[in-house]
Amino acid sequence: MLERASDVFATAAERSASKGPDVKELHAKIGQLAVENDFLVAALGRMG
C-alpha cells in the first residue's frame, strides 16, 4: 500500500503519464507511416 499511496491522490493525467507509451498504438502508427511512405515513393516514381 505504501508503494502506491501516491496513486490515490494523482490526477488521471498523472496516472496515464506514468504508465509510459502504449506499444500497440506505436506499432500501429509505425505501420501506417510505412505504408504511406511506400505509397508516396511509388507515386513519385511514376511522375518522374
> Helix, strand, coil shares of the chain as percentages rounded to 5?
80, 0, 20
**How many separate domains does the chain show?**
1
Q: Is there a domain that residue 36 lies in?
A: yes
1-48: per-residue pLDDT in tens? 778 787 788 777 776 666 778 899 999 999 999 999 999 999 999 887
Label residue 8 left, alpha or beta by phi (over 0 means left) and psi (-120 to 50 means alpha): alpha
Contact 31, 23 (CB under 8 A): no
Boundaries of domain holding 24? 20-48
Query: In this structure, what DSSP letter does residue 3 have?
Result: T
Task: Output the pLDDT for position 10.
Answer: 79
Q: Is there a domain that residue 11 lies in?
A: no
Task: Output the pLDDT for position 26.
Answer: 95
Q: Is the pTM of this model over 0.85?
A: no
CA distance 21 to 32: 17
Q: Is there a domain that residue 34 lies in?
A: yes
